[in-house]
Structure 1
Amino acid sequence: MKLICFGVRKVEQEFFIKLNKFGYELTLVEALLNDDNIHLIKGHEAVMLRANCPANRKNLEIIKNYGVEYLLTRTVGYNHIDLDAAKEMGFKMARVPTYSPNAIAELAITFAMNLVRKGTYMINRSREKNFVVDEYMFSREIRNLTVGVVGTGKIGLTAARLFKGLGAKILAYDVYPNENAKDILEYVSMDDLIKNSDIITLHCPYIKGQNDNLINDELISKAKDDVILINTARGELQDVEAILRGLETGKVGGYATDVFSNEKDFFFKDMKDKEIDSTIQKLLDLYPKVLITPHIGSYTDEALTNMIEISYENLDEFIKKGNCENQL
Structure 2
Amino acid sequence: MKLICFGVRKVEEDFFVKLNKFGYELTLIEELLNDSNIHRVEGHDAIMLRANCPGNRGNLEIFKNYGVKYLLTRTVGYNHIDLDSAKEFGFKVARVPTYSPNAIGELAITFAMNLVRKGTYMINRSREKNFVVDEFMFSREIRNLTVGIVGTGKIGLTTAKLFKGLGSKILAYDIYENENAKDILEYVSMEKLIEESDIITLHCPYIAGQNDNLLNDELISKAKKDVILINTARGELQDVEAIIRGLESGKIGGYATDVFSNEKDFFFKDMSNKNIDSNIQKLLDFYPKVLITPHIGSYTDEALTNMIEISYENLDEFIKKGISENQL
Letter in 1 for 2:46: A
Equivalent residue for 2:41?
41
Q: How far, CA to CA, are the matches of 2:289 and 2:43 in structure 1? A: 49
1:56-80 superposed Cα distances (whole Å, 9 cap, x missing partner): 1111100110000000000000011
Q: How far, CA to CA, are the matches of 1:161 and 1:147 in structure 2? A: 11
Equivalent residue for 2:60?
60
State the TM-score, normalizing by the size of structure 2.
1.00
Identity across the alignment (%) = 87
Q: How far, CA to CA, are the matches of 2:292 and 2:81 in structure 1? A: 25
1:292-315 superposed Cα distances (whole Å, 9 cap, x missing partner): 000000000000000000000000
Q: How far, CA to CA, are the matches of 1:319 and 1:282 in structure 2? A: 49
Equivalent residue for 2:11?
11
3-state DSSP of counterpart to 1:84: helix
Q: How far, CA to CA, are the matches of 1:242 and 1:87 in structure 2? A: 37
Which ranges of structure 1 fall in alignment gaps of 5 or more residues? none
1:220-263 superposed Cα distances (whole Å, 9 cap, x missing partner): 00000000000000000000000000001000000000000000
TM alignment of 1:177-256, pairs within 5 A: 177-256=177-256
Q: How far, CA to CA, are the matches of 2:200 and 2:211 in structure 1? A: 16
3-state DSSP of counterpart to 1:324: coil
Which ranges of structure 2 fall in alignment gaps of 5 or more residues? none
Equivalent residue for 2:135?
135
Q: How far, CA to CA, are the matches of 2:68 and 2:10 in structure 1? A: 25
3-state DSSP of counterpart to 2:121: helix
3-state DSSP of counterpart to 1:326: coil
Q: How far, CA to CA, are the matches of 1:100 and 1:168 in structure 2? A: 23
TM alignment of 1:1-328, pairs within 5 A: 1-328=1-328
Q: Which runs of 4+ in 1 moved over 3 A?
A: none
1:149, CA displacement in angstroms?
0.1
1:198-241 superposed Cα distances (whole Å, 9 cap, x missing partner): 00000000000000000000000000000000000000000000
Q: How far, CA to CA, are the matches of 2:16 and 2:89 in structure 1? A: 28
1:84, CA displacement in angstroms?
1.0
Q: How far, CA to CA, are the matches of 1:98 and 1:229 in structure 2? A: 24
1:92, CA displacement in angstroms?
0.2
Q: How far, CA to CA, are the matches of 1:41 and 1:27 in structure 2? A: 9
3-state DSSP of counterpart to 1:79: coil
3-state DSSP of counterpart to 1:5: strand
1:273, CA displacement in angstroms?
1.1
Q: How far, CA to CA, are the matches of 1:269 and 1:86 in structure 2? A: 28
Letter in 2 for 1:146: T
1:149-182 superposed Cα distances (whole Å, 9 cap, x missing partner): 0000000000000000000000000000000000
Letter in 1 for 2:64: K
State the TM-score, normalizing by the size of structure 1.
1.00
Residues paired across the two proteins, number: 328
